[in-house]
Structure 1
């Protein structure tokens, strides 16, 4: 692949290749934008088919974190790491400590965290070598498992979307079809059930489905049927790209609000939802609770403070996205991008103005 062309396309700042023959480390750190502050993004461990695929994933995810952090109002930029390897077989203390040394060498430009294929215990091994890691266990004064906080943010964002459609943010009696009942979705279901929502659930893991049926009186359906059920809200909480040419025509929901990343298979699917009159709460806006939570660690973690910020920020951000979409008559996925880009541009402009003024002062001297 033409790496510099890829970096120039979306103005990436840095791509770092990390290799350690002794531990077997092969990692790529991508830093997209540090306008708002140091880049924060997790370390993903995955068995990529090719090195080019790993690079593309790192770049895509890093840019996504720039938008997520900007939209969430955080003073953080976007970055991401991909570690090439099997998370079930290739992990070792030496590998993560080697990676930690690379993170430390960036001197705070990049802060890492857990992601797909990595865990809190992995972060603790990285922590031996660097100060720039979040998502470690509460024993070290950190936040631990981010799933409950992410779930609470999705719940709050869903309520904001419900208010837009129904005039009230009450979930009482609303029918929510939840795709995937993993850690985040299970906690989300609890919030919804406690407020009186009626749940329809599906998952390839039958035990997860049964637990939701028993504890939340949910109705179980086959995975292929979740798109076409009669419901008020479709909540994708498993794989990405579930909003596509095949599924969107089946949807009967008025709202889409879930925790999954990359819910739109392509941007055109956001346009399709707009044309159908379905309110879509953009994924990186509504699922930002986890990153808001770990970002609080940078100030000395306080759970109550983090939860308050998640509660207000995500609700208000979904309201803002819906308002921008209405104002500009554009789909909500574009409105979310506009909200993030406007914040980035304001800070860039203020920095440019500061530098220009500083240059004029020095010139006069």
Structure 2
């Protein structure tokens, strides 16, 4: 992998390699863009097959966080960390203490949080060495489990997408097919049930399905049948890449709005949804409630304030749809444009400030 070529192509600012022989720490911190503010992104621990695979993953994830934070309206840039190792066997206190010291050394350019393979307890250990960490235990002033807040953001974003498709954001009487009934989507189902929507659910875990059936009077189907059920809204809340050549022709929904990451297998599948007339709520815009919530910790966490910000996911989805109609492009491209336009405006603002400052200094000299 030609790292500098990759960084230059997508304009990454910084990549930091961190190792601690005593604890076994092997971490890569990638900072993509800090135009809007310090980079915020979680720490993923994974048993990568190679160092090159770890580099590719951290770069992809860091760039994704730049777009996610920008589209969410946060004054934060994008970054990410991957720790190479098996999260079930290789963790120890020394590892996360050492990692915390590396973060502290970045002096606030990067703020971390939990992600796949790391936990609230791991972030508590990181917090022993640095304040530049979110998603720690509520005892330290954190927001706690982000799943209910992420679910609420998906719920309000779904309402915005429904308004475009049906002329109203009232979900009462609508049928929503939910793929995956984990922590986030269970809470999403609760909101939908309270508004009077009918639910069709599936999951590879039978107990998760039965919980939704019992609590929300949902109908259940086999995982392979969820794409072809008759519904108004399809809500993917499990695996990525499930919007693809095989599944799109099966869909009967007019809206796709769910919590899963990387729902489109390829960009062309976003184009296909556009051609089919299906309203797609881009995943990194609609599932941003979690990052909006933890970002509030940077100001001293206030749940009411955080939830008010999460309500803004509705407006963000509406903006994406507006840009898509304005520029006659699919919503997945409109989401990128929303993020890029916000970053570009800030870049121009900062350049203007620097020019004015230089002009003032020149006159004084």
Q: Distance in 2 between matches of 1:296 and 1:204?
A: 34
After TM superposition, which residue ranges in structure 1, 4 or more long, deviate above 2 angstroms?
A: none
CA distance in 2, matches of 1:258, 1:185: 8
Q: Which residue of 2 aligns with 1:319?
A: 318
Q: Quick one: distance in 1 between partners of 2:27 and 2:256? A: 35
Residue 354 of structure 1 is matched in structure 2 by: 353
- SS of structure 1 residue aligned to 2:186: helix
List per-residue Cα deviations over 1:263-311 (Å, max 9, x = no partner). 1111111101000000000001100000000000000000011011101
1:261 and 2:258 correspond? no
Measure, in 2, the Cα distance between the counterparts of 1:226 and 1:84: 35
- Distance in 2 between the 1:200 and 1:98 partners? 46
Question: What is aligned with 1:287?
Answer: 287
What is the DSSP-based 3-state SS (H/G/I as helix, E as strand, rest coil) of the residue aligned with 1:268? helix
Q: Distance in 1 between matches of 2:18 and 2:174?
A: 49
Match of 1:125 in 2: 125
Residue by residue over 1:160-199, the C-alpha shift from the partner in whole angstroms, topping out at 9 and shown as x without a partner, is 1111111111111111111110000000000001111111
Question: 5 Å matches for 1:185-224?
Answer: 185-224=185-224
Q: What's the counterpart of residue 70 of structure 1?
A: 70
Return the alpha-carbon distance in structure 1 between the equivalents of residues 246 and 46 of structure 2: 28
Gaps of 5+ in 2: none
Please name the residue that 2:164 is paired with: 164
Separation in structure 1 between the aligned mates of residue 229 and residue 26 of structure 2, nearest angstrom: 44
Q: Which moved more, 1:32-41 or 1:91-100?
A: 91-100
**In the alignment, which residue of structure 2 is the partner of 1:336?**
335
Q: Which residue is 1:39 aligned to? A: 39
Structure 2 partner of 1:93: 93
3-state SS of paired residue (1:241): coil
- Secondary structure at the aligned position of 1:336 is classed as helix
**Residues in 2 aligned to 1:117 and 1:22: alpha-carbon distance in whole angstroms:** 21
**TM-score, normalised relative to structure 1:** 0.99
Aligned to 2:137: 137
| Residue in structure 1 matched with residue 104 of structure 2 by the alignment | 104
SS of match in other structure, 1:259: coil
Aligned to 2:274: 274
- Partner in structure 1 of residue 54 of structure 2: 54
Gaps of 5+ in 1: none
Matched residue of 1:226: which SS? Answer: helix
SS in 1 for 2:135: coil
Aligned to 1:247: 247
The alignment status of 1:27 with 2:38, answered yes or no, reads no
Please name the residue that 1:183 is paired with. Answer: 183
CA RMSD of aligned residues (A): 0.7
Q: 1:230 aligned to 2:269? A: no
| CA distance in structure 2 between the partners assigned to 1:74 and 1:359 by the alignment | 29
Report deviation, 1:357: 1.5
The Cα of 1:226 is off from its aligned counterpart by 0.8
- Separation in 1, partners of 2:92, 2:186: 30
> Residue in 2 aligned with 1:10?
10
1:322-363 deviation per Cα after TM superposition (whole angstroms, max 9, x unaligned): 111111110001111111100000000011111112112222
Q: Please report how far the alpha carbon of residue 15 of structure 1 lies from its aligned counterpart in structure 2 after TM superposition.
A: 0.6
Other structure's SS at 1:100 match: helix
Question: What secondary structure, in the 3-state scheme, does the structure 1 residue paired with 2:349 have?
Answer: helix
Once residues 122 and 206 of structure 1 are traced to their aligned partners in structure 2, the CA distance between those partners, rounded to angstroms, is 30
State how far apart, in whole Å, the 1-side matches of 2:9 and 2:147 are.
33
Distance 2:60 2:234 in 1: 26
Provide the aligned length of Structure 1 versus Structure 2: 364
Deviation for aligned residue 1:364:
2.2
Tell me which residue corresponds to 1:84: 84
